[in-house]
Amino acid sequence: MAHALVSPNAAAYTSGRDISQTLESARGQVEERFLEGGTVLLSVMDVLNRLLNSLESVTTTLDNKDASDTSADLRATVESLTALPVTEENRQQALVSLAHTGRELRKHVSDMQETMRYLRTFAVTVKITGAGLAEFAGFAQEILERIYSGTDEVNRFATHLDSLDKEVKLATSFGASVSKGYADTVPAVAGALRDDAAKIAQHRKDLGVIAREVGAIARAVQGKVASTLSALQIGDITRQRIEHVQATFSLLEDFFAGEDGARLDAGARQRLQNVIHHLTAAQMNDMCANFQRDSENVVKTIASFDHDMREILKLRDQMSGQSGEAGGNFMRALESSVSAAHEIVKQVDTASRQADQVSQSTIGTAAKLSEAIGNIRAVKTDIHYMALNTNLRCSRLGEEGKSINVVTAELRIFAGKLDDSADAIVTGLPALEAAAGRVAPATDAGAGSLGESLTSAVGNIRSAANVMENELKVLAENGREVATKISLLIGKLDFQHDLGEVLAGCADLLEGVAGTEVADISDLAETIAPLDRKIFKHYTMVQERNIHRGIIPASEEAPAPAEPAKAENDEDLFADALF
């Protein structure tokens, strides 16, 4: 009798242990696969974050105000180039005006030179005429020396004007050549620079559009990854429900080994075991259905990553292509245009230096002429008073000094003519200085500034292009890494393959053990109530409780189940999903 009771009991334990071992294998696979999937998803999330950071860097570079300012600087430089023909034409007119003013002054200087020749002649005549008079010999020599001194001043005056005239002619000749060159080259070079600047701006705009498209797709994938991470809770739920089934078998085994179980006969044991098999089979079937549904959604979501990544890679290739050959061509075209512009700038620099030289020389000449005019006036004054003094002496000498008196009177008259020429020159000097100012106006930016602007603008554009190229390289690497991670993810998170089959096999095994009919254990309700409560207490899901009560109704004294503990927040759910 005792043997008859033990054998079925041992068979039940063996059956429960075998099933538990099969379930443990399935539980281990679930835990391993979902943990691995969560790790891969987190790595994908990490590389997506890097991809988005790269995109942000690219966008920041594209939106960089300095780059916009550089384009504006280049456009401003182009405008300065465009204005060169007009500027040079104004300079040519100023040089013509300066040359005309110089020629007008030269006429007055010629008059002064002619006057000095007459004065020199009269002084020699005074010396000859007064040769017999001892008191006039030294006086005549003194007048002659003062006239020679004045002549030297006037000649130096003439030399300054002659040098100025040569400089003006040289600047005018070179300027005429430059002006013709401007007409031939400036419009084309300025147009090329303007076109290059526009192409670069459009290129950056196109890159910005693509970057935003990549960002939108990447953020969508990021959202999908986040939702997939949340959906991985099915792995934790499946693992827990397998553990609950395992716990049910363990509790049944403990029950059979305990005092309450020992009071049951073999038939009661078999009936209870049958009910537990049906209960666990029902739990496994429901768990498989949920796993099938939720894991299929996960797989579908992950499968959609493939299309997203192809789009990202396609857009990445577009950005790399635009930054590569096209961007390089833009820079080469720009640098070619700038090289041509620099040749023009060299001409501008030469013309500007000559104009500055002429202007400074003119201003210096005007200062020297002013000083010379003062010296000439002083000579004229000395000659005038010396001649006047001679007239007074001649008057006292009577008939003997009459001839000298006539010559010195002429000397005074011609000395007065110096004043007329000096006054005309003094009046013309401001016009000379004004013309010099128009040749090299103080507000002229200068070729050096224009050349520096070109060099700076191109340097900044090249620097921005290099930064963009580096950022796009990082973007390409991150895009490639995302694609690789996604490909790995699709394989790792295909839970339907193998894992779903394992779980379905466990459910089929339990159904086979349970059979088609559920045994009646209503007469055992009071005896198995403690077992019922222990099994029921393990459940964490309403579904599990409903299935349980559908097979083992609650006894009257069974307490109401406590509400399942809810995750306090999304972080708790996230932690559960990752075990």
Whether the pLDDT of residue 231 is over 80: the answer is: no
- Burial class of residue 86 (count of CB atoms within 10 Å of its CB; 0-12, 13-18, 19+): exposed
CA 549 to CA 542: how far, in whole Å? 11
Q: What is the pLDDT of residue 131?
A: 64
Q: What is the 3-state secondary structure (H, E, C) of 10-53?
A: HHHHHHHHHHHHHHHHHHHHHHHHHHHHHHHHHHHHHHHHHHHH
pLDDT tens, 67-76?
A: 555 566 677 7
Q: How far is Cα 209 from Cα 63, in angstroms, rounded to an integer?
A: 12
> Token pair for residue 174?
């070179």
SS3 for 200-260, per residue?
HHHHHHHHHHHHHHHHHHHHHHHHHHHHHHHHCHHHHHHHHHHHHHHHHHHHHHHHHHCHH
What is the rounded CA–CA span in Å between residue 69 and residue 464?
12
The total of other beta-carbon atoms located within 10 Å of residue 99's CB is: 19
More confident residue, 338 or 212: 212
pLDDT at 283: 92
Helix or strand or coil: residue 533?
A: helix
| Structure tokens belonging to residue 284 | 């496994």
Query: pLDDT digit string (tens) for 164-204?
Result: 788 778 777 766 666 666 666 677 777 777 777 777 777 77
DSSP code for 322: I
Q: What CA–CA distance (Å, rounded) separates 521 from 417? A: 151
Mean pLDDT of the chain: 74
SS (H, E, C) 124-190: HHHHHHHHHCHHHHHHHHHHHHHHHHHHHHHHHHHHHHHHHHHHHHHHHHHHHHHHHHHHHHHHHHH
The domain ranges of the chain are 18-551
Mind listing the pLDDT tens digit for each residue in 115-171? 888 878 877 777 777 666 666 667 777 778 888 888 888 888 788 888 878 877 877
pLDDT tens-digit map of 426-482 = 787 787 777 777 776 544 445 556 667 777 766 766 776 677 677 667 767 776 777
Joined together, the tokens standing for residue 275 give 């009910």
Sign of CA dihedral 424, 430, 435, 439: positive
Range of lowest pLDDT (307-321, 379-393, 564-578): 564-578
The per-residue DSSP string of 68-80 comes to HHHHHHHHHHHHH
Cα–Cα distance, 258 to 529 (Å, whole number): 14
Amino acid at 294: D
Residue whose entry in the numeric block shows the structure tokens 């007055």 = 108
- In contact, 522 and 282? CB cutoff 8 Å: no
Q: What is the pLDDT of residue 24?
A: 82
* Torsion sign across C-alpha atoms 532, 537, 541, 542: positive
Q: Which of 315-324, 415-424, 458-467, 561-570 has the lowest mean pLDDT?
A: 561-570
If one compares 207 and 100, the residue with the highest pLDDT of the two is 100
| Alpha-carbon separation of residue 208 from 60, 69, 116, 472 (angstroms) | 10, 17, 81, 12
- Where is average pLDDT lowest: 14-28, 428-442, 508-522, 552-566? 552-566
Asked whether 77 and 467 are in contact (CB, 8 A), the reply is no
Q: What DSSP designation does 557 have?
A: T
pLDDT at 578: 41
Q: Which of 82, 86, 88, 90 is nearest to 186 (CA)?
A: 82
Q: How far apart are CA 577 and CA 579, in angstroms?
A: 6
Q: What integer is the mean pLDDT of 88-104?
A: 80
Residue 119 Cα to chain centre, angstroms: 79
What six digits make up the tokens of 434? 């004004």
Q: pTM for the whole thing?
A: 0.52
d(CA 509, CA 313): 47
pLDDT for 42-57, tens place per residue? 877 787 777 777 777 7
